[in-house]
Structure formats: structure tokens, C-alpha cells
């Protein structure tokens, strides 16, 4: 084998590993930004003060548009675990599970739609559909998961549903809108 062939073979072997390493580093950075945002910004929801708005989903959604729906799920799970064990430890396993259900639904729906056609119009449709999916999935999630973790009867959740739906609509709407505005400028860095 000539030196030139060896060099070409080495480049072919190392290039995918280098791209994967760079992608993982960028995903790690997005997780870190998400955790910092939760640490800095938490706004109690007036109707149910135990619910707090935070912008943690924005870096996750940006990562979903950049790395696809599976990348978005990976970002969601890692962020939920780190957040649930550090800055949001008070919510414990309940917070981790609910974060994964809510954000995971949002990123799967938005990620698959955006992957189909990467245009600004598709990004808007993806954000709207992802937000609607999150709002809808959190209704049965709260009816099934909340009683298990909170030790309360399901009947106690029904009167809270309008406030829970309002909270999820507000959170998904704000985070989706900010992602829609920020993604294109940030995507240049993520795709370098």
C-alpha cells in the first residue's frame, strides 16, 4: 500500500469519528446552556405556583432542528436527568419524568416535521405542531403520572386541568416562538 493510499484510508476512518465528536461536544454545550437557563430563569405560574416557566427547552429545540428528532430526544433525557438531579432537585423523579414526556413529545413531533423539509415555513409548522402535541400529551400524563408521584386521587387533578393546559400552552408557545426566532442564526454555528 502506498503512503498516499494509507493517508486517504486514515482520513476516511477518522473523519466520521471527528464529526461525531464535534456533534457530541455541541450537544453537550446545548445541555449546559439549558441547565444554566433553568438556574437563572424560573417564573412561577400564577394559577398553580408549583409550576414554573423556564426556558430550558429552547436549547433542546434548537438542537432538535440541528441534529434531528433522535438528537432532540437524547438532549431531552440528558437535560431532564441533569436538571432533575441539580437545579430542580426538589421536583425529583416526578419532574424528570414529566420533563421527558413533555419535551420529548415536543421534540419528536417538531423534529420529524422539520426533518422532512428544512425551510422557515416548515420550522413554523413544526413548532406549532410540537407545541400542540406537548399540550395534548400532558393532559393524560398529568392524569396518570401526577397521582402516582403526588399520592393524590385522580379526581383531584381534574379541577387543575384548565390551569395545567394553560401553563403548557404558555410554556410551549414561548419556547417555540423563541426557538423559531433564534434557530437560523444559531444553526450556522451548529453546522460548522
**Angle between helix 92-116 and 57-85 (nearest 10):** 160
Average pLDDT of the residues in 120-137:
97
Give the up-direction half-sphere exposure of residue 133: CA atoms within 13 A in the CB hemisphere: 20
State the Cα–Cα distance between residues 87 and 161, nearest whole angstrom: 26
| Mean pLDDT within 129-154 | 94
Per-residue pLDDT tens over the stretch 157-186? 999 999 999 999 999 999 999 999 998 888
Contact 77, 30 (CB under 8 A): no
Q: What is the DSSP letter of 45?
A: E
Confidence at 142, pLDDT banded by 50, 70, 90: very high
pLDDT of residue 129 exceeding 90, the answer is: yes
More confident residue, 146 or 9: 146
Choose from 14-18, 76-80, 85-89 the range with maximum mean pLDDT. Answer: 76-80
Rounded CA-CA distance 89/171 in Å is: 20
Residue 10 pLDDT exceeds 50: no
Q: Give the helix/strand (H/E) hosting 49.
A: strand 48-53
CB 119 within 8 A of CB 95: no
**Which H/E stretch holds residue 48?**
strand 48-53
49-61 pLDDT, tens digit per residue, is 888 999 999 999 9
Question: Does residue 104 carry a pLDDT above 60?
Answer: yes
Mean per-residue pLDDT for 137-141? Answer: 97
Mean pLDDT of 117-144: 96
Q: Once rounded to an integer, what is the mean pLDDT over residues 33-52?
A: 90
Q: How confident is the model at residue 188 (pLDDT cuts 50, 70, 90)?
A: confident
Question: Would you list the domain boundaries of the chain?
Answer: 14-190
The predicted model scores a pTM of: 0.86
> With pLDDT > 90 as the criterion, what percentage of the chain qualifies?
67
CATH domain 14-190 topology: Arp2/3 complex 21 kDa subunit ARPC3 (1.10.1760)
Which of 15-19, 141-145, 185-189 has the highest mean predicted lDDT (pLDDT)?
Answer: 141-145
Amino acid at each position: 500500500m502506498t503512503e498516499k493510499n494509507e493517508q486517504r484510508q486514515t482520513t476516511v476512518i477518522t473523519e466520521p469519528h471527528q464529526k461525531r465528536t464535534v456533534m457530541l461536544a455541541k450537544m453537550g454545550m446545548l445541555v449546559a446552556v439549558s441547565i444554566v437557563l433553568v438556574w437563572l430563569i424560573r417564573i412561577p405560574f400564577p394559577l398553580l405556583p408549583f409550576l414554573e416557566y423556564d426556558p430550558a427547552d429552547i436549547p433542546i429545540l434548537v438542537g432538535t432542528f440541528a441534529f434531528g428528532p433522535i438528537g432532540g430526544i437524547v438532549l431531552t433525557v440528558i437535560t431532564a436527568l441533569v436538571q432533575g438531579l441539580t437545579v430542580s432537585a426538589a421536583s425529583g423523579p416526578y419532574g424528570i419524568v414529566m420533563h421527558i414526556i413533555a419535551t420529548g413529545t415536543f421534540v419528536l413531533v417538531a423534529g420529524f416535521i422539520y426533518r422532512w423539509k428544512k425551510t422557515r415555513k416548515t420550522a413554523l409548522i413544526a413548532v406549532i405542531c410540537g407545541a400542540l402535541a406537548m399540550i395534548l400529551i400532558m393532559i393524560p400524563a398529568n392524569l396518570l403520572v401526577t397521582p402516582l408521584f403526588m399520592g393524590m386521587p385522580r379526581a383531584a387533578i381534574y379541577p387543575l386541568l384548565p390551569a395545567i393546559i394553560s401553563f403548557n400552552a404558555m410554556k410551549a408557545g414561548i419556547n417555540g416562538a423563541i426557538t423559531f426566532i433564534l434557530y437560523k442564526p444559531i444553526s450556522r454555528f451548529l453546522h460548522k
